Amino acid sequence: MAATKGTATGGTPGDPESMEVSAAGHTVRITHPGKDYFPRVGLTKADLVEYYLAVEKPVMSAMGGRAVLMERHPDGVPGKSFFQKRVPAGHPDWLRTTVVSTPAGTTSDALVIHDIAHVLWAVNLGCLGFHVWATRASDPLHADELRFDLDPMPKVTFDEVRTVAQLLGELLSSLGIRSWVKTSGSKGLHVYVPLHARWGAVTVRSAAVATARELARRHPDLVTDEWWKEERGRRVFVDFNQNAPHKTVFGAWSVRPRVGAQVSTPLTWQQLDGIDPDSLTVATVPARIEEFGDPWADRWDNRQTIEPLLEWHERDMALGLLDAPWPPQYPKMPNEPPRVAPSRARKD
């Protein structure tokens, strides 16, 4: 999606505590632009607006056309926060929304990142994190991203997470599947595979389960596919359930609500070596894009298949393995084991 450069003007008539930003053909009113969103590093709401304008093209390539769950911090990082799926009443007429649902079937009108003006509108509400659907609003029945969230258990180092990401990338590559990597903005890494939009979320999750199991078999000292935390040990958990229907993952180029204003930053596999994720911030990422470009620029020109991963899934089912446990808010699923922690099951 082509970028449309935004411009900001000073206080609006009759309200010096606001400014207007012209972006993507819309005028977005930013109230209290001087509000300190990240006080430890001195970043204001206006600074966050400028950041998203600076990274408009890559952020729209990554999140454009998708529904998002907003993580709102109206008073900045130090204040109270909440997640908001439903777009509040009184929004501009131009705002794009789409109907999303919970596993229980409750529906909401969620924000769609149609253009950068939609991002800025959310930032004005104190959105310090965009959690993004794996489907496009125009095709909610087919996921076009397979996502692996590499979640380190306590005392696991980032070097170990990096090693697991590289092993995962190599495993996928051995099947002819190309993958892309980004920092989570916190302690983990996310590995993405862009897909032909042929499969529903349940099928894509099955592919993720099979991949997590295979990686754990090959590297049991580093990797775990155990859903229950008590069984993971000091390893990196490959979170397959982030591919379940209605699940979201923290968006690429999105700013985390951490005191240092860290950014979930796409990288090339070569750039992953030696990177310090805490150094990737609102202050440093725009210059990095200026120097190196968007590492994910060619992603949508290289959509992949999950057929080899589904063959692993069918093999595991033929060997008598059950499905992996689903998150607690989901209804009981076919072939799922008892949804109870092993220690509690033994006690019962």
DSSP secondary structure letters along 185-244: SSS-EEEEEEEEEEE-HHHHHHHHHHHHHHHHHH-TTTEE--SSGGGT-SSEEEEGGGGS
Looking at the predicted structure, is the pLDDT value of residue 4 above 50?
no
Portions of the chain given CATH number 3.90.920.10: 15-133
Q: Work out the mean pLDDT of the chain and round it to a whole number.
A: 94
d(Cα 172, Cα 177) in Å, to the nearest integer?
A: 5
Distances 216 to 30, 168, 191, 199 between C-alpha atoms, Å: 47, 10, 16, 24
**Placement of tokens 């990401």 in the chain:** 165
Looking at the predicted structure, is the pLDDT value of residue 346 above 80?
no
d(Cα 295, Cα 79) in Å, to the nearest integer?
A: 34
pLDDT value at residue 330: 94
Instruction: Out of 1.20.58.220, 3.40.50.150, 3.40.47.10, 3.30.70.3300, select the CATH number for domain 141-247+302-326.
Output: 3.30.70.3300
Q: Please give, one letter per residue, the 3-state secondary structure of 63-84.
A: HCCCEEEEEECCCCCCCCCEEE
User: What average pLDDT score do residues 167-184 get?
Assistant: 98
Q: How many other C-beta atoms are found inside a 10 Å radius of the C-beta of residue 287?
A: 10
SS3 171: helix
Portions of the chain given CATH number 3.30.70.3300: 141-247+302-326
Which one, of 130, 60, 66, lies nearest residue 98 by Cα? 66
* The architecture CATH gives domain 15-133: Alpha-Beta Complex (3.90)
User: What average pLDDT score do residues 164-189 get?
Assistant: 98
User: What average pLDDT score do residues 266-291 get?
Assistant: 97
Q: How many other C-beta atoms are found inside a 10 Å radius of the C-beta of residue 249?
A: 21
Token output for 43: 């970043």
Q: How confident is the model at residue 341 (pLDDT cuts 50, 70, 90)?
A: confident
d(Cα 150, Cα 146) in Å, to the nearest integer?
A: 13
Which one, of 332, 306, 27, lies nearest residue 192 by Cα? 306
Looking at the predicted structure, is the pLDDT value of residue 1 above 60?
no
* 103 within 8 A of 331, measured Cβ to Cβ: yes
Token output for 299: 């992603």
pLDDT in tens, 271-281: 999 899 999 99
For helices 201-218 and 158-174, angle between their N-to-C axes, nearest 10 degrees: 110
User: What average pLDDT score do residues 62-77 get?
Assistant: 97
Instruction: List, in sequence order, every beta strand (DSSP E) within the chain.
Output: 7-12, 15-23, 26-31, 36-38, 43-44, 67-72, 82-84, 97-101, 107-112, 127-133, 135-136, 139-152, 180-183, 189-199, 223-224, 236-239, 248-250, 266-267
pLDDT in tens, 198-221: 999 999 999 999 999 999 999 999
pLDDT value at residue 8: 53
DSSP letter string, 296-312: TTTGGGS-B--HHHHHH
Token output for 240: 């397959």
Q: How confident is the model at residue 5 (pLDDT cuts 50, 70, 90)?
A: very low
